[in-house]
Structure 1
Amino acid sequence: MKVLIDTDPGIDDAIALLFALAHPKLEVAGITTVAGNIGIETTTRNALRILALAGADVPVHAGTERPLARGGVDEIRVHGQDGLGGVRFPDPAASPAGSDAVGFLRDTLMAVPDGTVDILALGPLTNIARLVTDAPEAARRVRQLIAMGGAVHERGNVGARSEFNIAHDPEAAEIVFSAGLPFTLIPLDVTRKVRADRAYLDRLAALGTPAAFAVRDLIAAYFDATTGGESRPLHDPCVPILALHPELFTTGRMALSVDCSAGEFAGALGPGRHMLDVAMKVEAEKALDLLASVL
């Protein structure tokens, strides 16, 4: 399976990337970065640091610095000043391959047979919205788009009904929702069920690989940002896991829209006219088992 990963690393983004890079059935053809959890310079550098740890040669193209129509927010309080919870990663082994993420996505999709590349979106949908508006022919060549974002029945994590990725750039999400692409959304209703406990950290440490050690430390940083016996949710790893093993998820068709107001509900999902596949259940233990087995 050939994939392009759009991301804003980010602790859980880093876990998702290490999983995807390690999986023998995924070919990561490129990584595009977007401002989200932290600014674009840091998300781009973090993508390169993650590749250096994984020993992977994948082009990284920096993308948009800000949302389409509003000022951005960040999640430094969760992910730390470096975006990776202070976990040690090597310095980048390469420089960014470019600074036009949308152009890279367009050119890659146009250069391969129609319907042979997936896009895995781990952050705000700004780059994907610009692809839809600037290069619609290329966007329509995607086999499937899978994105983490939103909350359907769950409470939001940056507001009563709003989830960070969608709330960061609601206008971008609305554009992508309306594009008619083969699109699966993974909301907080699913990702909040995928959490690690302390025993899982020991399990990762016992694997002895650099990727497993890094993921252990990243999840430990999530423990430091919360209380109780479980980590914060492992949101973004759900995206490549669903791409590879959709049987672990229960999805259904929903008609949704995005609140693009300037108020407290900006980014909230509600009933609408955009038909999407939405994941609503997950076999969480099996998803965690898969993550560990690949690492």
Structure 2
Amino acid sequence: MTTRPIIIDTDPGIDDAVALAIALYSEQLDVRLITTVAGNVSLEKVTKNALRLLEFFGKDVPVALGAARPLIKAPIDASDIHGSTGMDGFDFKEPTQDRVLKEHAVNAMYRVIMASEQPTTLVPIGPLTNIALLLTMYPDVKEKIDEIVLMGGSTTRGNMGVMSEFNIAADPEAAKIVFQSNLPVVMVGLDVGWKALVYPEDSEQLKGMNQTGGMIYQLFQKYRGGSMKTGLKMYDSCAIAYLLKPEMFQVVETFVDVELNGSMTAGCTVVDLRGYLKQPSNAKVCVDIDPDMFKQWFMESLGKCN
């Protein structure tokens, strides 16, 4: 089986942890590098979380530290959703530093992408700071990127502001660079994640499924992305779902830009579904998901973990 080389850029994060588990245990994906970016919590904390997860999974994937703050704006975080550490709820072993590269994430991404015989897919599931820096510092890398499949943005309302989703709002200038990159971009947004739910009965099933399921069950007790009663929202797993089972999504090609200056709408992804702006399409946007297909895929995927 031909595997797809990917780099995951992440800010773990409880839902990031679930997405990483599915990607790392997938036989269809070759996770060649994990890069970290400040987002859900600080760069130091998210990097420690990435290392904790790799240690838990027993996966030897290199980790490179990226941007500790956005390109321009002041940092924000989501510790109210994920807890003060970013992954409250499970007692992880203290990770070793063996997997940490000495080079910056942007340099590591460039090296790994350029050395690959196959084009690499970038999968950012946090703020887009590292990706924007990569494309700006090393424009020749674009020739070796297959596509960028990102979790972020919204076609409707937000979860950080009235119109802004967290990953985009955390660094809107970086997001604008990515959408204007002339690369194939897939936006798997907030409003799709609202339908990708894990219900209490699913969580109970995870609890006894395997070691990974038990860990995720405990993390879910502290996760505030939805609720255990009404369903937990698996935003970041949707990006991995698009890679592995794109038929569960309804997708449209359209023009997307990022609002930078609106006093009440900064960080909004302007998804021009009706062509008002008369601009050529620059992204594939997931506008709907089959929730039943997602849940079946989600549970089956986690069942393949150790």
Distance 2:175 2:66 in 1: 16
Kindly state the Cα deviation for residue 140 of structure 1 after the two structures are TM-superposed. 3.2
Kindly state the Cα deviation for residue 277 of structure 1 after the two structures are TM-superposed. 0.3
Equivalences, count: 291
Task: Quickly say closer, same or farther: Cα 1:10–1:186, change in 2 above 3 A.
Answer: same
Given that residues 83 and 222 in structure 2 are in contact (C-alpha distance below 8 angstroms), is that contact kept between their aligned partners in structure 1?
Answer: no
Counterparts of 1:251-262 in structure 2, within 5 Å, are 251-261=251-261
SS in 1 for 2:235: coil
Q: Say whether 1:118 aligns with 2:121.
A: yes
SS in 2 for 1:143: strand
Task: Quickly say closer, same or farther: Cα 1:226–1:239, change in 2 above 3 A.
Answer: closer
What's the TM-score once normalised by structure 2's chain length?
Answer: 0.91
Given that residues 5 and 118 in structure 2 are in contact (C-alpha distance below 8 angstroms), is that contact kept between their aligned partners in structure 1?
Answer: no
Q: Say whether 1:276 aligns with 2:283.
A: yes
Task: Quickly say closer, same or farther: Cα 1:284–1:89, change in 2 above 3 A.
Answer: farther
Q: Which residue of 2 aligns with 1:75?
A: 78
Distance 1:219 1:284 in 2: 19
Q: Say whether 1:101 aligns with 2:108.
A: no
Identical pairs, percent: 35
Q: Which residue of 2 aligns with 1:27?
A: 30
Task: Quickly say closer, same or farther: Cα 1:149–1:77, change in 2 above 3 A.
Answer: same
Q: Say whether 1:234 aligns with 2:238.
A: no
| One-letter amino acid matched to 1:236 | D
Q: Which residue of 2 aligns with 1:285?
A: 292
Q: CA RMSD in A?
A: 1.6
Kindly state the Cα deviation for residue 230 of structure 1 after the two structures are TM-superposed. 2.3
Kindly state the Cα deviation for residue 114 of structure 1 after the two structures are TM-superposed. 5.1
| One-letter amino acid matched to 1:221 | K
Q: Which residue of 1 aligns with 2:220?
A: 219
Where does structure 2 lack aligned partners over 5 or more consecutive residues? Answer: none
Where does structure 1 lack aligned partners over 5 or more consecutive residues? Answer: none
Kindly state the Cα deviation for residue 100 of structure 1 after the two structures are TM-superposed. 0.3
Q: Say whether 1:64 aligns with 2:67.
A: yes
Distance 2:151 2:118 in 1: 24
Distance 1:280 1:98 in 2: 39
Q: Say whether 1:140 aligns with 2:143.
A: yes
Q: Say whether 1:267 aligns with 2:267.
A: yes
Given that residues 8 and 36 in structure 1 are in contact (C-alpha distance below 8 angstroms), is that contact kept between their aligned partners in structure 2?
Answer: yes
Given that residues 164 and 269 in structure 2 are in contact (C-alpha distance below 8 angstroms), is that contact kept between their aligned partners in structure 1?
Answer: yes
Q: Deviations over 1:182-204 (max 9, x none)?
A: 11001112111011111001111
Q: Deviations over 1:214-236 (max 9, x none)?
A: 1222223226x655722331100
Distance 1:289 1:98 in 2: 40
Distance 1:227 1:287 in 2: 18
Distance 2:139 2:285 in 1: 23
Task: Quickly say closer, same or farther: Cα 1:55–1:227, change in 2 above 3 A.
Answer: closer
SS in 2 for 1:221: coil
SS in 1 for 2:233: coil
SS in 2 for 1:86: coil
Match of 2:7 among 4, 8, 28: 4
Distance 1:149 1:172 in 2: 12
Q: Which residue of 1 aligns with 2:191?
A: 189
SS in 2 for 1:232: strand
| One-letter amino acid matched to 1:10 | G
| One-letter amino acid matched to 1:135 | Y
